Structure 1
Amino acid sequence: MIMFAYVAITLGQSRSFSRLLIDSKITLGLGGVVIVLVSVSASVGFFAYVGVPATLIIIEVIPFLVLAVGVDNIFILVQAYQRSIRGKDESRQEHLGRIVGDVAPSMLLSSVAESCCFFLGSLSDMPAIRAFALYAGFALILDFILQITAFVALFSLDIKRQENNRLDVLCCLQGGKKEVDSSSDGLLFKIMKDVYTPFLLRRWVRAAVMLLFVGWFCLSLAVAPNVEVGLDQELSVPEDSFVTKYFLYMKDFLSVGPPVYFVLRGGMDLSQKDAQNKICASAGCNDDSLVTQLNWASKSSNRTYIAIPPMSWMDDYFSWLEPSSECCNVYPNQTFCPDPSQANGVTDLF
């Protein structure tokens, strides 16, 4: 709503209170926001069809990203028309066509450059970043296509409404017939032209601006190594979600870090006793076996990040094979005894 209100207010160019509801661009601003939502929805639908999964971050972030990046094309087009003077024998359609011909190449180049930047991000090995880049890049392309088609058509209708002195939103009502010079500059344009630009072009101001930004850049480089790389899990879900409380409780009361898996690939015949003794940690295994060394590492908290002793499938298997074990492995008739937690093909993990 805030972005819609901003776009609707700033697109208008009212010069008198009597023409406030005529020169406003509420409907046009709403159309620009709807175009952004349509482009994002089309991007989500396309990649859902081709099988690229979406995440909660994509749904929540991409609409604002496309709106922030793509709304500048709307301002460029509308303000270029407002500052242009229509020719003597030029119709409304010809005037708007001339303006679109002037600004559309710049809109195309900027949209393609922005989309290419996101598509380059899809080369990342991280699935979440790859999906985000694909969704955002395609949404920007669709947003540009809709801007030079649907938005231009809506803009033409809004120009016709304004020239007929009809009220914005309530276009069935007609205002006064007072004519206003449509080529005059707006308040913001006058401020930038008569106040900001002369002040910025003063010699001492230019020097101060350069020193300020050079110092800012050097300071940013100095503190860049202090930025922590990573994404906390609680930041990826809404604040009022029950999952957020779960992550916070895990961090406060079960702060053991992520699980770690040690996998041996090839080179060892685990059917041989010597190979088994190099891995297991039960009685009879080597004193320097893999699991034993990891167990020692878990007891050296000042040297490693391993919090608890490892669990080895091989030791569990040996325990299951032990005749004196309480774990059932065969029935009295020597038939196999399955794990009761895997009844009906369902494994109870908890």
Structure 2
Amino acid sequence: MALYDWEGEFISLLRNDSGRPEGLEVFLQAQRSFGEISGETILGDVAFLVIGNIVLFVYVQLMLGKFNMVETRPVLSLLGLLATFMAVGVSFGLCSAFGIAYGPVHSILPLLMLGLGVDDMFVIVQCWQNLSQEERRLELKKRMGCALRHAGVAITVTSLTDFAAFTIGASTVLPALRSFCIYSALGVVALYMLQATFFVAWFALDQSRLEDNRNGLFWCYKHKNWTPNKCSEYDLCQMFFDKIYSKYLLKKPVKALALLVTAVVFGTSIWGVTNLRQEFNPVWFIPQSSYLFQFLSRAQTFYPEAGERGTVYLGALNYSEELPKIGYLTQSMRENEYISFVDSWYDLMIDYTNSSTGEDITGQSLNESFFRMALSEFLYSPSGSRFQNYFHFEGNLTAMEPVPPIVASKFDYSHRSLDGPGEQIPAMDQTKELVQNANFSDFAAPIAMMYSSWETDKIIAFELVRNLSLALVAVFVMTLILIANIMSSIYVLLCVLLTLVDVMALMTWWDLTIDTVSCINLVLCIGLCVDYSVHIALHFMQVKGTRDERVQRTVKEMGPAVINGAFSTFLAFILLANSDSHVFESFFKIFFGVFIYGVFHGLVFLPVLLSLIGPAPYDLDLHALPEVIEVEKRSKDVVVIEGRTYSQVHNVRSNSSYE
């Protein structure tokens, strides 16, 4: 604690430039710098998240409700967002209880839950708004059942697909990705349960409040003789998809253009993916405006020859007999093309013993007692005293007495300046191989601070391909089981694959690399973009008519939910564009691509594809409900007053479908 406080004073003193000569710049780092700057960055990004959530709340309120005192839904909007944060709490709580590690990348999980949760909210509300006139005449609980008959299937398909994708991702050997996928999988399950119960229950209460003409914010106040103003009854988003988008999208020139754009973008993206670099550097996690980043960048600029420093640790060897192995290892490391310097106590001990005793012990095994005494004299000599801390003995080291048995020792080395994973990975592997080939009798290993990053670079490309491939297989299997149509499942998989390739190409052009953060974001990419396509494919299977008629109705009824869910997710992270954090900056760039390409493939490419070669609908007409048939048998002209149903004309011939 005293050292930590001292470092704080040290940093504060050197960063204070008052009284400093003009033109003199000071760059510094301390042991506490990484943790301190990371904490400041997280706190700074919390402000962006809070503002983003406020913007998201306003948008959700505008889309769920209408501009009048009764049909506005601020309380429901707030409770819907609360459900997403409750899901995050469940995920964090359960994972923490089971000791699953939490890392810096996990801070984007609330944004993921917001994206998925808001999407489910819009789907439920949109299915409520899509109820037919006959279904609207039912009592509230039956109307809610009609809405959930469609919305429940949609959110179940997307939630189980997301859960499967994250569960597959949890099988990776990368600890950060595995931990995040476990958190995400539990979060998806909790979110599904909360949206299907907590949100739906509040939605039913809010709808009961609305039908009783009670104020949208103050539920206890009832408006008498209330009628909505005409302006508030216009749903511009619904009108756009109904009157404009669904009609123009199905014109032959527009279809041809949509397919052409998709093919050109995909072909260009394949070229972009081939140029995607693989590199992971922990320095990127430090904000560029921080003093630590400036120190590290200046060090690299002014001392480019200074490479990564490392240490070889040796265990409880038989040092007197294995001394030649240590000499062979140090010589081999000096001759390696990737190592610029070796600072070994062995070489200086050889020189000291030769000068003090006249005996050259190079490459020789020594008598145990002679070795212990020679080492003791060396460690108390001017050239060897600095190596006392390089040994760990069973007892205390005493001058003029043989050293106690050695428990462990070490020596240092430095790599030359290495250019990217193409040199870093071979340098690390060759160093480890040299130590292994020395064939010591006990523990022996080289360790450097950046080796963990280089190990990540070594396996991350394979892990990325593996995880994305398995996640795509999981998406196909789950959609096939839940949608129960192989062609629809193939189309959904195609949309997800196209989006994934386009996003990876965007990473190339936006100067992102394959690292732990981008791997996590690409798995999330699958989880989000599958939602956009599944809603369209599933609804297309549930309606009847010609292909064009089914597409037109699908886009009209599900288009608003898809675009609102996607745009609300975009609003949640739009402010992260100004973040100094590599985690949030990567998240913004990748999810911007998910928003653009995912919406394009879900609302443009997939409807066009379905209009051309879409599968036949389900045999069961989900829109014809027994309760509706009974209502039509009893009455054709029904009046609803303050939520109560009054019949005026009886015994009218039934119609089995409202289509």
Q: What is the TM-score of this pair, normalised by structure 2? A: 0.43
Matching of residues 1-350 of structure 1 within 5 Å: 1-12=54-65, 14=66, 20-58=68-106, 60-84=107-131, 85=133, 87=135, 90-179=138-227, 186-236=235-285, 244-254=290-300, 256=306, 258-260=308-310, 271=319, 273=321, 275-280=322-327, 289-297=328-336, 304=338, 306=339, 308-312=340-344, 321=375, 323-324=377-378, 325-326=381-382, 327=385, 329-332=397-400
How many corresponding residue pairs?
308
Q: Look up the equivalent residue of 2:197 and give its one-letter code.
A: T
- Alignment partners' CA distance in 2, 1:321 and 1:157: 83
Distance (Å, rounded) in 2 between the aligned partners of 1:316 and 1:172 = 87
Q: How well do the aligned residues superpose, as a CA RMSD in angstroms? A: 3.2
Offset of residue 119 of structure 1: 1.2
Q: How far 1:95 moved relative to its partner?
A: 1.4
In the TM superposition, what whole-angstrom CA distance separates every residue of 1:251-300 from its partner, at most 9, and x where no partner exists? 431565655566899xxx85465x532432xxxxxxxx332232244xx5
**Structure 2: which 5+ runs fail to align?**
1-53, 353-373, 389-396, 407-659
Could you say if the C-alpha distance between residues 291 and 61 of structure 1 is closer, same or farther in structure 2, counting changes exceeding 3 Å? same
- 1:344: which partner in 2? none
Structure 2 CA distance for partners of 1:9 and 1:323, relative to 1, 3 Å: same
Query: CA distance change for structure 1 residues 199 and 7 in 2, over 3 Å: closer, same or farther?
Result: same
**Deviation for aligned residue 1:179:** 4.6
Aligned-partner residue type, residue 63 of structure 2 = T
Q: Which amino acid aligns with 1:169?
A: L
Query: Cα deviation per residue 1:287-346 (whole Å; 9 max; x = unaligned)?
Result: xx332232244xx5xxx3x4x4134475688788152524374235768699xxxxxxxx
Deviates more, 1:134-143 or 1:25-34: 25-34
Distance across 2 between alignment mates of 1:139 and 1:221: 33
Q: 2-side partners of 1:130 and 1:25: how far apart?
A: 39
| Shift, 1:141, TM fit | 0.7
With normalisation by structure 1, the TM-score equals: 0.77
Residue ranges of structure 1 left out of the alignment (5+ in a row) = 281-288, 339-350
Separation in structure 2 between the aligned mates of residue 335 and residue 258 of structure 1, nearest angstrom: 32
Question: Is the 8 Å Cα contact of residues 165 and 174 (structure 1) preserved in structure 2?
Answer: yes
Give the aligned residue type for 1:190.
M
Question: Residues 375 and 403 of structure 2 are in contact (CA less than 8 Å); yes or no, is this contact kept in structure 1?
Answer: no
**Contact preservation (8 Å) 2:166, 2:184:** yes
**% identical equivalent positions:** 22
Most deviating of 247-256 and 137-146: 247-256
Q: Cα gap change, 1:50/1:11 in structure 2, threshold over 3 Å: closer, same or farther?
A: same
AA in 2 matched with 1:321 = L
Shift of 1:67: 1.1
Task: Give me the whole-angstrom Cα distance separating, in 2, the residues matched to 1:225 and 1:90.
Answer: 57
1:197 deviates by 1.6
**Per-residue deviation at 1:86?**
5.7
Shift, 1:208, TM fit: 1.3
Equivalent AA in structure 2 for residue 245 of structure 1: Y
Higher relative contact order (CA 8 A, sep 6+): 2
